[in-house]
């Protein structure tokens, strides 16, 4: 059965490009096109699409306001189609927090192949689980104390990762384990996302830079289009590179996990969250086999149970947990390890 899509964009040319891209996939049917939210609202009522592609900047009502109405009144998977600008990054992140499935850049000289994965993302959106909207107005710290144990945490995420990371990191105490994150995200988005996380979390969150030192209470988000690795175990520092893509991605979660393993062995911890594909599965398996604790987000709480499924199916995951329990497990596990070493 085909995935039924409505394309919403004020540009007739862009509507044609998006529609042609999607119609090239035999599993997708474009059932309607709209030039603005008012027109789109009628089509959505009449056609009940499986997925909507939505431009952010439109006349009569901007895409964010319309997205908010869709999520509240008729929840439907939405893929935002936007420009890759710094100002646009803020808006796209807000769209993901409101409930958009993903954001895809409009083709440009900077991102000429941005629609290559559009059809795949539309089909994944149709299969996705719509999660409750986030309440992210203020950080919520976990009850109980935490004493750093020397472990380093690596987190890999992709589609659905914005919501998942906010949920987990906003519960971390101010002196959380040193944490590095590889989230599949365009380069103009990561700086804005790190700033957003920093406002919502007790620890310090920033976009990683070459030579940053890993210390308790610090969380580093890998810049888009860069790989993140760790050099040195005694005074660990971040190394960034634009080496070839791995698993089709840069940053690659596998690159980060293998680096953690080389630097810290079993004194590392790996977490893999919602996302398409299987990036991170092999690296997490290597960590697990070395004795490191590895956690996977469970199927019920994932927007897309792709990366965690791949890791689980090859035996890379020590335990699977729902999103709401992951922060507690990370902190309680670190406390337990510290007590074990103190005996």
Catalytic residues: 158, 184, 279
The number of angstroms, rounded, from the C-alpha of 339 to the middle of its chain's C-alpha atoms is 33
DSSP 3-state of 163: helix
Dihedral of alpha carbons 173, 238, 102, 70, sign: positive
DSSP 3-state of 69: helix
Instruction: List the one residue out of 44, 105, 42, 46 whose CA is nearest residue 77.
Output: 44
Per-residue burial over 230-245, b if 16 or more Cβ lie within 10 Å, else e, is beeeeebebbbeeeee
Instruction: List the one residue out of 337, 284, 306, 312 whose CA is nearest residue 129.
Output: 306
- Alpha carbon distance 331, 335 (integer Å): 6
Q: 197: how many CB neighbours lie within 10 A of its CB?
A: 24
Partners of 228 in the β-ladder:
240
Instruction: List the one residue out of 21, 85, 83 whose CA is nearest residue 55.
Output: 83
Q: 175: how many CB neighbours lie within 10 A of its CB?
A: 15
Q: Please report, in angstroms and rounded to a whole number, the separation of the first and last CA atoms in the chain.
A: 60
Mention every residue, 6+ apart, whose C-beta is less than 8 A from residue 239.
210, 211, 228, 229, 230, 231
């Amino acid at each position: 059965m085909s995935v039924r899509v409505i394309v919403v964009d004020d540009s007739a040319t862009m509507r044609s490009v998006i529609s042609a891209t999607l119609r090239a996939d035999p599993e997708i049917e474009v059932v309607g096109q709209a030039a603005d939210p008012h027109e789109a609202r009628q089509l959505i009522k009449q056609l009940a699409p499986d997925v909507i592609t939505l431009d952010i900047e439109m006349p009569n009502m901007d895409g964010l306001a319309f997205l908010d109405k869709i999520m509240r009144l008729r929840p439907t998977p939405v893929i935002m189609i936007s420009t890759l600008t710094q100002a646009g990054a803020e808006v796209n992140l807000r769209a993901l927090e409101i409930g958009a499935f993903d954001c895809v850049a409009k083709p440009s000289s900077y991102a000429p192949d941005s629609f290559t994965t559009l059809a795949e993302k539309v089909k994944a959106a149709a299969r996705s689980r719509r999660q409750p909207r986030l309440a992210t107005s203020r950080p919520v710290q976990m009850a109980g104390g935490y004493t750093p144990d020397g472990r380093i945490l690596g987190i890999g995420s992709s589609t659905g990762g914005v919501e998942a990371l906010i949920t987990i990191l906003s519960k971390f105490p101010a002196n959380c384990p040193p944490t590095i994150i590889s989230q599949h995200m365009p380069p103009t988005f990561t700086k804005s996302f790190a700033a957003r996380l920093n406002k919502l979390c007790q620890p310090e969150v920033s976009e990683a830079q070459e030579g940053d030192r890993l210390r308790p209470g610090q969380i580093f988000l890998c810049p888009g289009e860069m790989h993140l690795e760790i050099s040195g175990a005694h005074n660990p520092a971040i190394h960034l590179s634009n080496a070839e893509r791995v698993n089709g991605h840069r940053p690659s979660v596998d690159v980060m996990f293998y680096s953690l393993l080389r630097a810290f062995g079993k004194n590392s911890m790996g977490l893999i969250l919602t996302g398409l594909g299987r990036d991170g599965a092999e690296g997490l398996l290597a960590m697990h086999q070395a004795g490191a604790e590895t956690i996977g987000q469970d199927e019920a709480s994932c927007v897309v149970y792709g990366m965690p499924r791949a890791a689980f199916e090859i035996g890379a995951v020590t335990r699977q947990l729902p999103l709401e329990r992951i922060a507690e497990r990370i902190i309680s596990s670190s406390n337990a390890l510290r007590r074990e070493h103190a005996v």
